[in-house]
Amino acid sequence: MVRHKEFDPDVALDRAMTMFWERGYEATSVQDLVEGMGIGRRSLYDTFGDKHALFMSSINRYGDIQSEKLNAVADTARTGRDAVRDLLSVVLRPEAHMKGCLLVNVATEMAARDSEAAQRVDRYMAISRQIMLDMVRRGQQDGSISAPQRPDVLASMLLNTWLGLRVAVRSGVDRKRLRKDIDEVMSILD
């Protein structure tokens, strides 16, 4: 008799993603995953493969979610400049302060020794950079960004700023400090 899955794979993957995000790859054991995902060990292996495969799926899930969020920020902003400010200000939200950015965490923990993880981080960073490039171009076209630098230069600066803010969040930097940093970056766009 074939047993049917008694869990939602998407919910289980979200739980695994959160565990890797909070603890990192090395500090998250298979037993931690089994308990945190609320599934049996066999179900984990049958559904997701080994721990590394689950980690790669978690990176993909996170990257897809973040890309959707970035696009939503861009789509709902009135101007390109507003989109940039809204994007950078995401780090000021209370939920941002618990884990930082999974992609940054993976880049610092795993990328140097795991080429598959590095490729996924690079892919999602490129997507993020493109979204930021589109925001800058939009701002230059609508007149809300008047900085003389090329859009690609500004987009690279914004990506690095955004990543740095995410690291600062993870390390517990005060929100007032982050708000001041965001204001300084925004002044560069004038």
Model confidence over 82-93: pLDDT tens digits?
999 999 998 888
Percentage above 90 pLDDT, the chain: 84
Query: Would you say 111 and 118 are in contact if contact means Cβ atoms under 8 Å apart?
Result: yes
Report the distance separating Cα 162 and Cα 91, nearest Å.
Answer: 9
pLDDT class of 120 with cuts at 50, 70, 90: very high
Residues 12-61 pLDDT 10s: 999 999 999 999 999 999 999 999 999 999 999 999 999 999 999 999 99
Q: 114 pLDDT exceeds 80?
A: yes
Class of domain 59-188: mainly alpha
pTM: 0.89
Domain ranges of the chain: 59-188
Q: Residues 136-165: what's their mean pLDDT?
A: 96
